Amino acid sequence: MRKNILVGQSGGPTSAINATLYGVIKEAQKQNDISEIYGLRNGIEGALNDNIINLNYFKDDEMLTLLKTTPSAYLGSCRYKLKENDLETYSKIFKTFEKYNIGYFFYIGGNDSMDTVNQLKTYACDKNFDIKIIGVPKTIDNDLVITDHTPGYGSAAKYIATSFKEMYYDSKVYNKPSVTIMEIMGRHAGWLTAAASLGVDFNEHENVLIYLPEQSFNMDSFLETVNERIKRNNCIIVAISEGIKFEDGRFVCNSGGDTEKDAFGHSTLSGCGRVLEYSVKNKLKLKSRAVELNVLQRCASHFASLTDLDESALAGSSAVKYAISGETGKMVCLKRATGEQYKIETETVDVSEVCNKEKFFPKEWITKDCFVSSEFIKYASPLILGEPKIKMENGLPVYISL
């Protein structure tokens, strides 16, 4: 019997999460086993309040291609954390699944979303629901384990590297010594901040300092390093992760004030760039400026990585194939083929092996001169290659929304 599919998006938006949705829709349209393609509004919340739409209006290639290059999350997102024993909530969700005759459920998201996939799969098994549940990774943070990298990371990395490069060109125009700091997302993992390295010359980076959350931050040694290097370099540029901490565990961003918490209890960070800026101004009496990339780094589809969009779409289409072939409770992984030539294949992994875990930036890739090793450059370079053809109108990218 033909079943319907349901697809949802969750967690922070990226430039590539809609490319995965594109992949799911495109592949589902080809599959004879699938009847209707439904979209879940605002992630799992849509299943709780029956907010589900039929995506059958995605017919022509032009509209689907627009979806692929649109930032944000087309279906909306949520930050809803399923509690393990909240059976009433699970029952509500599965009633919605039954109502729409859902045989396959795809959830595109990060760490917390994979936890949702795991909970739903466990409940489905316990209650003998005939539904295949597959998680598709998405996060600019690149902090999911097992998968070589996460869809969404490449586009963010490309934007960060480009902006860092442009900021460097901008900051070196004056004769006066200056320190320019870019604060980049990444609570615990330094992958995004490390991507700034791609924007500068690997063989000549004495004026570049990179600080990741994987290593504790020492203000005195930072100021000493700046003071030393500015003797030979008129302009120092610094990439720091929002999540850098002092040795005693305090967030650098908090040294000036209080932190806020999001729905998952994660601290909302911002401001460590400013803390460094003021330290440089006050202690070293140098011109300094902090730039915070903020949400721009996760939505800059106008300069997305084509490699990332293609791989994100591949993750989506593979998810459909895995589900049809009977897999459930799995997350789609990107697997880098061995050999010199960069090539990505997909495989699946039990979602329980992924959720609630974090992949950190390898400490051995952090160099003593406050930069990253060539291993990182080799790892990350292929992920930012290529630019998608963006539909333009009146000088601006065209995006679609519900």
- Chain positions contacting a copy of itself, by CB under 8 A: 9, 13, 42, 45, 70-73, 76-79, 158, 161-163, 165-167, 169-175, 180, 198-199, 289, 291-296, 298-303, 305, 307, 381, 384-387, 392, 394-397, 399, 401
Residue 165 CA, chain-centre distance (Å), reads 21
- In angstroms, the Cα distances linking 241 to 9, 47, 392 are 26, 35, 33
24 vs 131, beta carbon nearer a copy of itself = 24
Report the chain's terminal Cα–Cα distance, integer Å: 31
The type of residue at 256 is G
Phi, psi of 291 (to 5 degrees): -120, 130
Longest CA span, the chain: 73
CB 211 → a copy of itself: shortest distance, Å? Answer: 19
Active site residue 141: yes
CB 349 within 8 A of CB 333: yes
CB 32 → a copy of itself: shortest distance, Å? Answer: 33
29 vs 65, beta carbon nearer a copy of itself = 65
Helices (H), 269-382: 272-284, 296-299, 306-324, 374-380
216 vs 381, beta carbon nearer a copy of itself = 381
The encoded tokens of residue 387 equal 């630019």
Element (H, E) at 48: helix 45-48
CB 153 → a copy of itself: shortest distance, Å? Answer: 13
CB 77 → a copy of itself: shortest distance, Å? Answer: 4
CB 163 → a copy of itself: shortest distance, Å? Answer: 6
The encoded tokens of residue 363 equal 């400490």
CB 263 → a copy of itself: shortest distance, Å? Answer: 9
129 vs 191, beta carbon nearer a copy of itself = 191
User: 88, 84, 93: which is closest to 122 by C-alpha?
Assistant: 84
43 vs 329, beta carbon nearer a copy of itself = 43
Q: Of these residues, 112, 115, 141, 143, which one is catalytic?
A: 141
CB 114 within 8 A of CB 139: no
Helix/strand/coil (H/E/C) assignment for every residue in 211-246:
ECCCCCECHHHHHHHHHHHCCCCCEEEEEEECCCEE
CB 399 → a copy of itself: shortest distance, Å? Answer: 6
For strand 396-397 and strand 235-241, is the pairing parallel, antiparallel, or unpaired? unpaired
Distance CA 315, CA 131 (A): 19
124 vs 196, beta carbon nearer a copy of itself = 196
87 vs 296, beta carbon nearer a copy of itself = 296
CB 186 within 8 A of CB 213: yes
Annotated catalytic sites, by residue? 141
